Amino acid sequence: MPAVPQAARPLRGRDAELGTVLAALRHAQSGRSALVVVRGEPGIGKSALLGASVDQASALGFTATAAAAHETDELSPLASLGPALRCGPLPLLNSQQFLDLAPLTVQPLWLAEHLAVLLQRRAGSTPLLIALDDAQWADPLTTFVLRILLGRLRSAPIAFLLGTRPAAGGPADQVVGGMERNRWVRWIDLAPLRDEAVLAVAVDHLGHAAGPELAQRLLGTRGNPFLAVALLRGLIGPDDAGDHGDDLPAGLLDGVRRRTAGASERCRALLRAAGVLGVQSRLDDLAQLLGEPATQLTGPLEEAIGLGLLTDDGVTITFRNELLRRAVYQDMPPSARAAMHRSVVAHLIASGRGHAAAAPHVLASAVPGDATAVRVLQRAAKELLRTMAVTAVTLIQRAFELVADDDPEREEVARDVVTILVTARHHDEAAVFVDRLLEGAVSPGTAAVTQLSLAPHLWSTGRLGELAGRTRDPRFTGAAPALRARLAAYAALATGSDAGEVAPDPVARSLQLVARAEQAERAGECGAARGYYEQARAAAEEGLGEDGPGEAGSLHASRLELRELLVRGRLDDINGALARLADLDAHGIDSDPWQAPRVAVVRAVLELGAGRLDAAQAAATAALQWSGDIGDTVDARLWHVLVLVAFHRGEPSEARSRIADAERRGVPMPVGRALLALDEDEPRAAAGLVRELAAGAVPWPEELLVEAACAAHRCGDSDTLHAADDVLGALAARNPGVASMAGAAALTHGLLIGKPAGAVDLLRQAPRPLLLARSEEEVGRAALDRGDPSSAESLQRARDGFAACGATAAVLRVQRLLQPVGARRPRGSAESRPRAATGWESLTTMERRVAGLIADGHTNRSAAAELHLSPSTINTHLRAVFTKLGVHSRVQLAKLVLSRADEPGPGPALHHEG
């Protein structure tokens, strides 16, 4: 009786596992994403379960797609996930969309963001299943993108299915580790099949029950379906199926050896060459290794296919199972394997495929002291650094392990290790490597360069104590003058000391100017700080491309400009700073994604100063998310922005939550705690706030000092009022012509002398609506205390100013003051009502604008241009809109917006206002 065709064979013994997958599919159908990870040893049936799951999903109306990762995927960005996006009759992405991803492989965060938008849109028509088998080999970019997608698409009807071997800390663990605890995630650990399932498999293959002798042998496979099928197909002998290990099932090697024993020598040679090249190979590569024309390999290839070991799809030659390849490979003598790997290396490099393609074969054959292998791995690491940084790290570390201790190139390789680790953002690992390296004998130049490579990250993350320690080492004495100057400049940055005489080296000079800028900022001299930052940027740009000691320790000009933009904001050029930020970030895909959190923090601070609370919160939320995405340290200013927005909106519980989040991450929040005390009317709370503001840098200190002064004035704390007046007066004196600082000083001094009105005219010249509204409130309070009827006019202007900013707490406070004078809240105003959690009323002003533009047919990019934001920020708003409105596609959003526009009464604004 002929064997039953494979397509008709059911999946045996996995009903419970399929039930888990079905639950995930139903969860996805409800509009929330789900993830199932199928874990098991080789041959246990992961691929069969994934295949059956794809069939089940298709039957339920899903657009289901699947792909498998390969051992060589780590060399190509998105090699593992890419095929899943394009396979099948209805691929998830069309050709142009897929091609558009290619330029983004060097910008992983933007790639993930862009792909999330495409998949969200695609899931609007049918739910999706994305399955990836052999995920233990997923390339690093695929792992990163999957982790981000699962976070971004939490409210999309998409199920993800990963098949993987157990690998602690591997891709599957990394993907799951990046998800929130309340997400729908299930692990399936595949156990061996039960005896009845194994015997059912035999019936499926034979068309009848196995006889007693064969049944006994099948049960000897101990429930491993691969071994059972191999036994049925004759790939393993009757006595070789009893035991199997974690690496290669016992008996498979002998079985393949027996299967090929009668084959021709040329067939066996072809199989060995294919085994060395990998699961997939090309005929021309096999021909090159075998020294024969490809046309002469038809016979051996047909023979190998007939043995059931290889398949040929016209493009690639593939082993039917990766375990079969390993059996062929392990049957080769080690010296023969190594020799063939070296031949592959030479062929790949000679044919122009690059050092990166040759690297896996170097790793499989190199021995310590192999200088050629070291050079290949060095070059491969540099080739891959922009697109596959994680792989580049592995290659350069292996190169250093191979280099001989007495090799004159050892220090050069060590420098490359540090550079690549830092570029790949493995900062802590780089620091450990430098410390171990410096335990031995190295040249002064290498000691200086490796420590300088760590310095920019230490400075930007505020680890100044460690920075100071690393920039002082007697071994630097013999280093080049330029390197020593850079180290001295970093020491000044770390300690806040004088930067010394201007250095001729542009990198050192840039660092010295940054040190002076920071000193000026601490002294409250914002104009001087801006000038120093401008000069520092010019020096940093001058240093690009210099010969000599290279760019070790250099600060990128864009980082310096971000600091300069914050100072510009303090100097009342908020709108100019935001416009420049929009120029820098107009097209998020064209900028450095690793800078995204820093850019968003600066935007959040500037928007807060401009009184646009919704925009400030959106930027801060994006910064918080992106920092988590890329493992970046969260900027302390971010927490202050979120806390201040919560206080302005009258949400003290939200403020407490943000403060607790920051403190859990090791970020002290004394100013936030002082604001809590102020909100709760604790005695001496205002004094505590002034004291904390004097001790640390927070966004817009003049605004908080005014809050403290007003609180002190109301409770009769003249000492605190005088203290705030002194600080603000000194700040205004150091920054002449800055209306916001002059106005804040005038308001506080006016409270002292009972004449706050002078602050209003000054603050009308500043782009600080919250400060202006505060001054109008205090003028109204003073008039109200005098019984002056003009108080209502000032208080109404204050209320309207606060309302325009979304400062609900202040609106309610001023409205209470207006009630005795007969003023009422404007009809239809919603500023004093708590914002809903879901539905149209839950949307912020900016979210409504974004929703309107998208409903009008705008793309993320055109909406970004309309609102002067980046596409990535638009994407952040859009995800919030989808979540709050419970929609899953742009089509659903457009229908909802248009239906509201048809309703009587105020509807959504479909266009940007102003």
What is the model's pLDDT at position 243?
Answer: 45
Give the integer Cα–Cα distance in Å for 199 and 724: 85
Report residue 210: phi and psi, to 5°.
Answer: -70, 145
Beta bridge partners of 161: 36, 131
Give the integer Cα–Cα distance in Å for 234 and 256: 9
Give the integer Cα–Cα distance in Å for 418 and 403: 15
Beta strands of 81-212 (E only): which ranges? 128-133, 158-164, 185-189
Q: Is the CA virtual torsion 661, 662, 664, 669 positive or negative?
A: negative
What is the model's pLDDT at position 73?
Answer: 87
Q: How many C-alpha atoms does 443 have within 13 Å on its Cβ side?
A: 13
Neighbours of 754 (CB within 10 A): 10
Contacts 24+ apart (CB under 8 A), 400-403: 401/368, 402/366, 402/367, 402/368, 402/369, 402/370, 402/373, 402/374, 402/377, 403/369, 403/371, 403/374
Radius of gyration of the chain (CA): 33
* CATH architecture classification, 840-902: Orthogonal Bundle (1.10)
Quote the distance between the C-alpha of residue 843 and its chain's center: 26
The 8-class DSSP code of residue 239 comes to T
Give the integer Cα–Cα distance in Å for 265 and 225: 31
Residues of the chain falling short of pLDDT 50: 1-7, 241-246, 546-550, 587-590, 827-832, 904-914
What is the model's pLDDT at position 872?
Answer: 64
What is the model's pLDDT at position 9?
Answer: 72
Q: Is the CA virtual torsion 151, 154, 156, 161 positive or negative?
A: positive
Report residue 97: phi and psi, to 5°.
Answer: -60, -40
Residue 615: name the closest of 653, 641, 595, 634 by CA: 641
Give the integer Cα–Cα distance in Å for 856 and 189: 48
Quote the distance between the C-alpha of residue 619 and its chain's center: 15
What is the model's pLDDT at position 8?
Answer: 53
Residue 142: name the closest of 88, 95, 87, 77 by CA: 77
Give the integer Cα–Cα distance in Å for 373 and 510: 39
What is the model's pLDDT at position 885?
Answer: 83
What is the model's pLDDT at position 203?
Answer: 86
Give the integer Cα–Cα distance in Å for 7 and 856: 47
**Please, is 532 exposed, middle or buried when counting C-beta atoms within 10 Å of its C-beta (0-12, 13-18, 19+)?**
buried
Please, which residues have CB within 8 angstroms of residue 457's CB and are 6 or more apart in sequence? 422, 427
Give yes or no for a contact between 848 and 906, defined as CB atoms under 8 angstroms apart.
Answer: no
Give the integer Cα–Cα distance in Å for 714 and 672: 21
CA distances, 12 to each of 15, 198, 222, 526, 557 (Å): 8, 8, 15, 73, 61
Neighbours of 463 (CB within 10 A): 18
Give yes or no for a contact between 266 and 277, defined as CB atoms under 8 angstroms apart.
Answer: no
Give the integer Cα–Cα distance in Å for 514 and 559: 11
Tokens of 64: 């289901």
Name the pTM for this structure.
Answer: 0.82
Beta bridge partners of 36: 161, 186
CA distances, 622 to each of 598, 636, 836 (Å): 10, 15, 21
Kindly list the domain boundaries of the chain, sorted by start residue: 7-189, 195-250, 591-821, 840-902
**Secondary structure (3-state) at 191:** coil
CA distances, 466 to each of 451, 456, 469, 471, 472 (Å): 11, 12, 5, 9, 10
Give yes or no for a contact between 889 and 121, defined as CB atoms under 8 angstroms apart.
Answer: yes
Top-level class of domain 7-189: alpha beta
Quote the distance between the C-alpha of residue 868 and its chain's center: 23
Give the integer Cα–Cα distance in Å for 192 and 227: 11
What is the model's pLDDT at position 226?
Answer: 83
Query: Could you tell me how many residues make up the chain?
Result: 914
Tokens of 685: 């709370």
Q: Would you state the torsion angle of the CA atoms of residues 213, 218, 221, 222, taken in this order, to the nearest 10 degrees? A: -100
Residue 881: name the closest of 858, 862, 864, 897 by CA: 897
State the alpha helices, DSSP H only, in 13-102: 15-29, 46-59, 82-86, 95-101
What is the model's pLDDT at position 547?
Answer: 39
- The amino acid that residue 552 corresponds to is A
Please, which residues have CB within 8 angstroms of residue 831's CB and are 6 or more apart in sequence? 802, 803, 806, 808, 811
Q: What fold, for 591-821?
A: 1.25.40
- Angle among Cα 87, 92, 98 to the nearest 5 degrees reads 85
